[in-house]
Amino acid sequence: MGTVYEHSLGRQLQFYVSKESVLGTFNPPATGDSMRIIKVAMDPKVNRKNRRDSYMATRDTEERITGRSEHSWAVDAYYVPSGVKTTAPDCGPFLEALFGKELVGSNDVTYSQLSSQTLKSLSLTRRIEGKIMETMWGCVPESMTFKCSGSDEPKIHFEGRAKGYVQTGYSTLNGGMSATNQMHVQTADYNMFGVNSVVKIDADDGTSDEGYQITVDHATGSITAFANGGGGTVTATSGAHGLTNGQSVIISGTTNYNGTFVVSSVATNTFKFTDTWVADDGTGTWNRAFTIVAANDGGAASVSEIDTDTVVPWTPTFTDVGVPMTGISGSLTWDNLDISALVTGFEFTVKANNKYVDDSCFQQDMIDAIPGFFDITGKVDVRLRSDFVVKLLNRKDFGSLALAVVVGGAAQTGTRLEIAVGQLEQEYTPIDIPESEESVLSIPIYALGTATGNDSFTWKHT
């Protein structure tokens, strides 16, 4: 027996990551921005403070004060090489935004640290079929963790902060559209759409409507009187409405003037719209239209549609390039000694230590991020063997070592990852020697750079 309603299913999730040209300027998803993920979390947070004055007539909280927004996100995925030596893996935008520098060579793509104050940001979009879509923009990666073990495939984890967040629902048009860049949805669904929503409208005008990015400010107002405006117009009184000539509004809650109209003859507290004057209905409500700011199909940001056409979340066709690494091919070299056979697992964490500018007065969201020092840490789990024990003696004088990790296929095939740590310092850790099993040591490491460049860590896709 089938279900009555369609549900949002995780297996139908599509995820996209787009590079932004300016931090916080939303970039709608495009073909090629898709990324297959294990799990993604988007955590919008708006701080609310309870108002509890000293003298209140009740013990209940009567009001909450809206404060700043602090949005965060996290992504878990297999590491998926592209299979093309000069094409980045599907998580490439995250790597570039975290490290700061992406260099495409003749045989590889390399990521390394950037010392300038320039931070690169991302727009993240996840959509579950036509049910719901979430979008974050101004996304700055704060940390990355890459790990691999003998029983687990290489996986990568990113997390960070975001400037803005919005959900996009679905509805139908409330009134037809004719070569306009403004659209109305049903009044009851008005708050299901937010700024930077991207929608698709049912195409019945002979064109293939792809995605339309819309801006929404949820502007609404009350009408306190209607009057004959003359010349086939009606004058509506609405105190400090903020509308401008040419904007489209939907009027509801009246007897004679419900519908979609273009405002004209705007004054501070009044505006006109074209309709037949009947009588003063006294009161009503207006909602401003959504404005189309970009058309993802490459056409003009205006459409022609009929009333009740569906409006649903839109993303481009999902493409999946490359396959995950197996985790059984590669090598690990510790201070020029190949210890591949000893390694049971390894892990690297890169933390950017950004300072997020989210304490400015009169600003709802984070307005900037200032890059800090990189902390690159990790651990290598090894079985202790006589030819490797001597390397542990470096802990006594804190001498620096070199580490090179290779994961995946042959070089220059687009299936291989090479991680190089030019200088690292290994931390102290206790040696556990079990009674009946071999000794396994987990060695914490810390990557160091030189004073002449950002060279503590290099990530190469080849």
Domains delineated in the chain: 11-47+65-169+318-462 (no CATH), 174-308 (2.40.30.180)
Q: Where are the beta strands (DSSP E) in 269-383?
A: 270-274, 284-288, 290-295, 303-305, 310-313, 330-334, 337-338, 343-351, 355-357, 368-370, 375-383
**Among 343, 336, 331, 425, which Cα is nearest to 378's?**
425
Say which DSSP state 234 is in: E
**pLDDT value, residue 396:** 47
pLDDT at position 297: 64
CA distance linking residue 57 with residue 132, whole number of Å:
42
Q: Would you state the pLDDT for residue 229?
A: 95
Residue with tokens 């602090």: 70
Mean pLDDT of the chain: 87
Tell me which residue of 161, 157, 165 sits closest to 95, measured CA to CA. Answer: 157
In this structure, how many other beta carbons lie within 10 angstroms of the beta carbon of residue 384? 15
Distance CA 71, CA 142 (A): 13
Residues 90 and 321 sit within 8 Å (Cβ to Cβ): yes
Q: How far apart are CA 305 and CA 183, in angstroms?
A: 9
Alpha carbon separation from 456 to 98, 332, 402, 407, 449 (Å, rounded): 14, 17, 10, 19, 4
Residue partners of 386: CB distance under 8 A and separation at least 6: none
DSSP conformational letter for 33: -
CA-closest candidate to residue 89, choices 79, 99, 101? 79
From the CB of residue 208, how many other CB atoms can be counted at a distance below 10 Å? Answer: 9
Cβ 289 vs Cβ 247: under 8 Å: yes
Contacting residues for 55 by C-beta, under 8 A, at least 6 apart: none
Q: What is the distance between the alpha carbons of residues 462 and 406, in angstroms, rounded to a whole number?
A: 10
Task: Name residues of the chain where pLDDT drops below 70.
Answer: 1-4, 130, 203-209, 297-300, 387-400, 451
Residue 359 confidence (pLDDT): 85
Nearest residue to 317 (alpha-carbon basis) of 34, 81, 10: 34
In 163-247, beta strands by DSSP E: 164-168, 171-172, 177-180, 182-183, 197-201, 212-215, 220-223, 225-228, 233-237
User: Which pLDDT does position 382 carry in this prediction?
Assistant: 86
